[in-house]
Amino acid sequence: MLLSFTLGQKPTEWLLAMFASKNGNSTGAVPAQPRPASTVVLLRETRKGLETLLLKRNKALMFAGGYWVFPGGALDPEDFAAAGGDELKASRIAAAREAWEESGLRPQLEDMVLVSHWTTPVAEPRRFSTWIYAAPVATAEDVVIDGGEIHDHLWLGVEEAIAMHQRGELPVLPPTLVTLLGLGAYDSIAQLVAAERSSAVPEVLPVFALDDGKVTVMFRGDAGYDSAAPSAPGARHRATLEERRWVYSYRDVDAAYPPLVRQ
């Protein structure tokens, strides 16, 4: 399986620094503990299929400035309190809260379905343990952004968002695109919810490294994953940056490590 996507703009300094890590995991320091966070993909149905809400982050922000993202952020103490200390429940509450704060839309907690869980690579000084949910929202509600952290918004068909990104018109980060590619397999919210609630939740901990000068993001099942050695012969489960295009590869991988992009 090969999937490619294009970086819509020159990567910011923080992204280059992350990708330029010599071995992705060895920094000589104790790894930072990831901070709990969550994100929710807000969805609505149209005659053309599923649409999702994307928010554009302020270009001045150090992290992902100028990129398009789903609503989300770190868990607050109030989220944990409301969840009785249960981190997974708190992540659901936080995702709905962040959606309200960043877009003026609030998904119902019972409608939210967990689709994946990503943890920032070990080499990063700022790390997050992020639950990614998907949920429908009322189509009649207006989107309200703050003009501070969030500068713009778009309702886009899932396939349209992927196509725009491939044309270099919609810069997103790998977890956002992988999520979009997976959601593109569904024709309706009901189909998505039924499938995602009955399937295993991918636990993603990428490993970054350079392979002959090319930035490589390896996932579990890749032959070079454990050693952070992308040149290791064998299975390929990775994304490679090639002339501003990420190429997602999944071949000869043990069945214990399914692809991140659901078909």
What tens digit of pLDDT does each residue of 87-116 get?
999 999 999 999 999 999 999 999 999 999
- Paired residues of 245 in beta bridges: 6, 242
What's the number of domains the chain is made of? 1
Is position 105 within any domain?
Answer: yes
Query: Is 245 a member of any domain?
Result: yes
Answer whether 0.75 is exceeded by the pTM. yes
Domain extent at residue 129? 2-251
**What are the angstrom distances between the C-alpha of 74 and each of 34, 46, 81, 156?**
10, 31, 14, 25
User: Residue 126: inside a domain, yes or no?
Assistant: yes
Output the tens digit of pLDDT for each of the chain's 263 residues. 545 444 444 443 444 455 544 444 444 567 789 999 999 999 999 988 899 999 998 887 767 778 899 999 999 999 999 999 999 999 999 999 999 999 999 999 999 999 999 998 887 788 999 999 999 998 767 899 887 888 999 999 999 998 888 887 888 888 888 899 899 889 999 999 999 999 999 999 999 888 888 888 899 999 999 999 999 999 999 887 776 667 778 999 999 999 998 65
**Helix (H/G/I), strand (E/B), else coil: 72:** strand
Predicted pLDDT of residue 119: 95
Cβ contacts of 90 within 8 Å, gap of 6 or more: 36, 75, 79, 80, 82, 83
Domain assignment present for residue 262? The answer is no
Domain presence at residue 77: yes
Answer for the pair 95, 113: CB distance below 8 angstroms, yes or no. Answer: no
Answer whether residue 257 is part of any domain: no
203 domain residue, yes or no: yes
Q: Is residue 194 part of a domain?
A: yes
**CATH no. for residue 216?**
3.90.79.10
Q: Are 99 and 146 in contact (CB under 8 A)?
A: no
